[in-house]
Amino acid sequence: MGKKKRGHYCRQCGRTRPNEKFSGKGHRQHICKDCKRKGKQVNRPQVDNYDRELNKLNKAVRNGLILYTRRSSFFLFEYQKQRYVTRDDFESEIFWYNPSSTKRFQLEDSLLPSQPLLEVLFKNFYEVMECGFIVDYDDFYLEEECLDIPKNRRLHLEVIASIKNLER
């Protein structure tokens, strides 16, 4: 078994220091008394926010499906129990699918293409591709009932039908 380190880690100087070298706030902030006295600042909050956002999006973006049409291809995914569509090059806008509206596809302003979002979408796209959750537009049109799509991804069938109605 490995030896357990005693003390606390300081984010500023990167050392593991004894607990006595930290004040009450220092334990919470992970900054030792010496670094606090010197006034060292660390630029980790941006990295922490990026990691936090990436982790949140990894949990929230799910149930992806790739749709190939004659003209282009789309990536359909679920985020916070809403369905979204974007082109599979991820350079276009992200559209929210609203089944209750007359204009079914609305431009989504809250999901702006940020670096963490693009990273998560790329990762999910390739996972979906590896698993084979791909629907060809022509196959959907001919054999809607016979498609081999898992139950949790069947919610995208309504979106595909709406895309089909748009292209007619």
Q: State how beta strands 82-87 and 73-79 pair.
A: antiparallel
Mean pLDDT within 106-122 = 82
- Asked if the model's pLDDT at residue 8 lies above 50, the reply is yes
| Residue-level pLDDT at 164 | 58
Give the residue from 153, 92, 101, 97 showing the smallest Cα distance to 121.
92
Sequence spans of domains, the chain: 8-42, 52-167
The reported pTM is 0.64
* Average model confidence (pLDDT) across the chain: 77
Quickly state the pLDDT bin for 48 (edges 50, 70, 90): low
Return d(Cα 143, Cα 47) in angstroms, integer.
Answer: 47
Tokens of 128: 């979906």
Q: Tell me: the pLDDT tens digits for 56-102? A: 888 888 888 888 888 888 898 998 888 888 888 877 788 888 888 88
Helices (H), the chain: 24-29, 33-38, 44-60, 115-131, 137-142, 156-167
In percent, the amount of the chain with pLDDT more than 70 equals: 79
